[in-house]
């Protein structure tokens, strides 16, 4: 792999000012206001100064007096790519709401390296605060104010989004999100790391989709300047203070695949959570690679069924 260029693999280049040029432009989809469709969606501003926003989804038909769970969703993309406007994420979000009736809040957080960690955690806290404020404001967003069940709020993230969810959940007790109650966290193939290589990382170092040099580069672009992969944002197993906070996670669903170089770390995370008394539901499949559910409909539906049972 000596000639392997992770920038080429990711289809990006690093500029002298520390920003990225992203050459891959994925198709986007506008929100849907057509009430003849099963799922409605709309865009709302989260923080105008930070240029963050969210796409909200809900079923078109909600029974009178019904209250729906709230799912705050954080997308994959290795910290550096993707948006909730991209058709891939929009279709996933629409399908999720069709299968799991909910108020689904897909957060378009800031990307690295232009905005390094913990900027993404800050954006997630902004999103939780936004939902809380809408629920208590007489003039708040009617989808939240009139349809949301504040006792059933879930944080759901995939890949780097799962890392955001994990770190955000540990911060929430300091915020006192009441009347919002975080009923659970969903960590789909969490993007976590560490300096010492695991067996799965070494075994799958040349994985065609998520090779080790790409994983290392993504952390290099996302972590605070001057830190390494044993920083607490990357490695949840080395910081004693963080491990003491994990009971605030509530119940937790962790999903992983045997062909993911990160699978050993994900299973170590599950073990750590269980040892500290967290109610964990672990769903690991021996077959499958990182983010397989974005391109494999069968795996995507299997994960949706896990979430339906969990929520």
| CA angle, 305 then 201 then 4, to 5° | 110
Residues noted as catalytic: 159, 260, 290
The 8 Å CB, 24+ separation contacts for 294-300 are 294/76, 294/88, 294/92, 300/92, 300/95
d(CA 164, CA 73): 10
| 3-state secondary structure (DSSP) of residue 124 | helix
How many CB atoms are closer than 10 A to CB 18?
A: 11
Q: Please state, in angstroms and as integers, the Cα–Cα distance from residue 52 to each residue in 127, 190, 249, 305, following that order.
A: 9, 22, 25, 30
d(CA 274, CA 253): 12
Chain-centre distance for alpha carbon 298: 20
By the 8 A CB rule, do 257 and 292 touch? yes
Nearest to 74 by CA among 186, 238, 177: 186
Residues in the chain: 311
| 3-state secondary structure (DSSP) of residue 281 | strand
């Amino acid at each position: 792999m000596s000639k392997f260029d992770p920038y080429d693999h990711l289809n990006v280049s690093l500029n002298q000012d520390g920003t990225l040029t992203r050459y891959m432009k994925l198709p986007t989809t506008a929100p849907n206001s057509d009430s003849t469709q099963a799922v409605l969606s709309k865009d709302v501003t989260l923080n105008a100064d930070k240029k963050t926003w969210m796409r909200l989804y809900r079923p078109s038909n909600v029974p009178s007096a019904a209250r729906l769970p709230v799912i705050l969703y954080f997308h994959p993309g290795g910290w550096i790519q993707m948006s909730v406007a991209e058709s891939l994420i929009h279709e996933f979000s629409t399908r999720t709401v069709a299968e799991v009736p909910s108020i689904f809040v897909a957060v378009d957080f800031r990307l690295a390296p232009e905005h390094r960690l913990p900027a993404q955690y800050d954006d997630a806290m902004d999103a939780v605060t936004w939902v809380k404020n809408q629920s208590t404001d007489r003039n708040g967003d009617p989808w939240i104010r009139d349809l949301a069940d504040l006792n059933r709020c879930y944080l759901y993230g995939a890949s780097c989004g799962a890392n955001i969810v994990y770190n955000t959940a540990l911060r929430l007790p300091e915020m006192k999100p009441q009347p919002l109650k975080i009923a659970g966290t969903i960590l789909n193939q969490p993007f976590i790391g560490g300096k010492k290589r695991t067996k799965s990382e070494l075994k799958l170092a040349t994985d065609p989709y998520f090779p080790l040099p790409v994983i290392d580069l993504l952390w290099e672009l996302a972590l605070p300047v001057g830190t390494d992969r044993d920083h607490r944002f990357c490695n949840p197993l080395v910081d004693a203070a963080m491990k003491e906070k994990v009971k605030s996670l509530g119940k937790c669903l962790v999903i992983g695949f045997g062909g993911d170089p990160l699978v050993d770390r994900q299973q170590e995370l599950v073990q750590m959570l269980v040892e500290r008394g967290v109610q964990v539901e672990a769903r690991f499949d021996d077959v499958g690679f990182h983010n397989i559910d974005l391109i494999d409909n069968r795996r995507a539906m299997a994960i949706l069924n896990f979430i339906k049972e969990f929520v």
